[in-house]
Amino acid sequence: MSAKSMDELVSLCKRRGFIFQSSEIYGGLQGMYDFGPLGVELKNNLKSAWWKSMVYERDDVEGLDASILTNQLVLNYSGHEDTFTDPLVDCKSCKSRWRADQIGDTCPNCGSKDLTDPRPFNLMFKTNVGPLEDEGSIAYLRPETAQQIFTNFKNIVDSTSRALPFGIAQIGKAFRNEITPRNFIFRVREFEQMELEFFVEPGEDNLWHDKWIEERSKWWESQGVSKKKIRFLEVPKDELSHYSKRTVDLMYEFPHGEEELEGIANRTDFDLGSHSKNQDQLNIQSKIRKNSDSNSRLAIQNKDTNEWIVPFVIEPSAGVERGVLAILNEAYKVEKLEDGKERIVLALKPHLSPIKAAVIPLKKNNDDLVSLAKNIKDELQSLGKGRVLLENTGNIGKSYRKHDEVGTPMCITIDFDSLENNTVTIRDRDSMDQKTIQIQELTSYFSNFFK
């Protein structure tokens, strides 16, 4: 069972320190959110899981962390300066602005039908680099992490001696000046993407595309996103991005409706071809503009035939915020207890939980209990499985409720038996079962739990 409404998630996120409206004390900044103490842990855990599965557990992917501010030429040759737009309309009555494709013919604010004709609005944030604000100093905050992967293609091939097929993975911020950011962290102006550009021989692209669609839906399942809530959407030809031959979106049932969680596109040889020098010497298949500025041949040599190939690219591209929203929605449960009361529990997969274990001394003013709890916390923390918290409130029931709500998989209580018999009580978040184990067994119990 997932959350009944977005409001429930928003409320939990604020109450427990997952997500706050950005610049809230000054009235907020629309389309921006800050991740609090638990949100940053959840987000980091999700990104680590992605990196682990993409880079460490495969032998055919390298990592990259490129700059956010991007040379204007990159986003010119990529096509973003010309085509990265949404249709904007103004309401002539109340002066509000809307995305034409989201509102029909009526202003959602005042009900007027007196709207301007739609005009293209470029979503990129423009800035200037250096002390001069002129045409020559224009740069953009990247609207996708992908472009710098393409511009670094030769650097990575030369430094790693990779042959096809192989991929380059990157996680990082992207920025879009969305006309109407909405639905909490679903559509925002500053967000993070987890993107893989996977380079393959032309002709093998369709096969690899299908493989990645399969891989990615399995991965979301391993993060706790139910298979039943994901649908594959074949993006209609007339809605494809300018670079795409085929895109399949993984659509998820968010609390506000079904929308895109991740897109998996076949970008063909468009991007490498567009950013390459000497384009006419390469057998580029997509329709590209002549590049007279690049100093790099973005192709790879077949080691047997010596032929230069511009690879095709399969791109699984996921949003971190949308991932966090889907995972919170899946994990959120309200359970009826035997005594008639209710509890909220966030049944997160343990590897995603912001706090792995809470160590709770029975009495907050008892030095012996608190000092033993602190030693146990330090010991478990040193195992490198994630954050372990010393929860010294002196109220066991309240601590259990709090840790249920934030998804802590286990609470470890230190009581007088711990001092006399070297035992601790472990309480399981999901079953609420409690068991007693010896302190000396705790590290291996804890390590095995988070394996």
Structure token digits, residue 259: 């929308």
The site map against ligand GAP for 187-226 (x = CB under 6 A) is: xx--x-x-x-------------------------------
Other CB atoms within 10 Å distance of the CB of residue 385: 18
CA-to-CA distance for 365 and 372, rounded, in angstroms?
13
**Nearest distance from residue 144's CB to ligand GAP, in Å?**
4
- In single-letter form, the type of residue at position 260 comes to E
Cα–Cα nearest to 445, from 393, 409, 421: 409
Single out the residue of 322, 349, 403, 427 in contact with ligand GAP (rule: CB under 6 A).
322
Query: Of 186-194, 329-337, 369-377, 405-413, which part binds ligand GAP (CB under 6 A)?
Result: 186-194
**Nearest distance from residue 262's CB to ligand GAP, in Å?**
5
Query: Cβ(259)–Cβ(247) under 8 Å?
Result: no
Cα–Cα nearest to 402, from 50, 6, 82, 37: 37
349 binds ligand GAP (CB under 6 A): no
Report phi then psi at 271, rounded to 5: -75, -50
317 binds ligand GAP (CB under 6 A): yes
Q: Which is nearer to ligand GAP, 261 or 426 (CB)?
A: 261
**Nearest distance from residue 149's CB to ligand GAP, in Å?**
9
Q: Which is nearer to ligand GAP, 193 or 413 (CB)?
A: 193
150 binds ligand GAP (CB under 6 A): no
Q: Which is nearer to ligand GAP, 182 or 398 (CB)?
A: 182
**Nearest distance from residue 267's CB to ligand GAP, in Å?**
8
Q: Which is nearer to ligand GAP, 84 or 400 (CB)?
A: 84
319 binds ligand GAP (CB under 6 A): yes
Q: Which is nearer to ligand GAP, 220 or 400 (CB)?
A: 220
The per-residue b/e assignment along 101-120, b for 16 or more CB within 10 angstroms, e otherwise, is eebeeebeeeeeeebeeeee
The β-bridge partners of 120 are 87
The site map against ligand GAP for 258-297 (x = CB under 6 A) is: --xxxx----------------------------------
Structure token digits, residue 438: 């010896």
Contacts with ligand GAP: how many residues (CB under 6 A)?
19
Where helices occur in 131-189 by DSSP H, the ranges are 146-151, 153-160
Query: Cβ(145)–Cβ(172) under 8 Å?
Result: yes
Query: Cβ(376)–Cβ(424) under 8 Å?
Result: yes
CA-to-CA distance for 364 and 396, rounded, in angstroms?
10
Cα–Cα nearest to 297, from 315, 314, 309, 313: 309
321 binds ligand GAP (CB under 6 A): yes
**Nearest distance from residue 318's CB to ligand GAP, in Å?**
5
Query: Cβ(152)–Cβ(74) under 8 Å?
Result: no
**Nearest distance from residue 104's CB to ligand GAP, in Å?**
21
Residues that bind ligand GAP (CB under 6 A): 144, 146, 176, 178, 187-188, 191, 193, 195, 260-263, 315, 317-319, 321-322
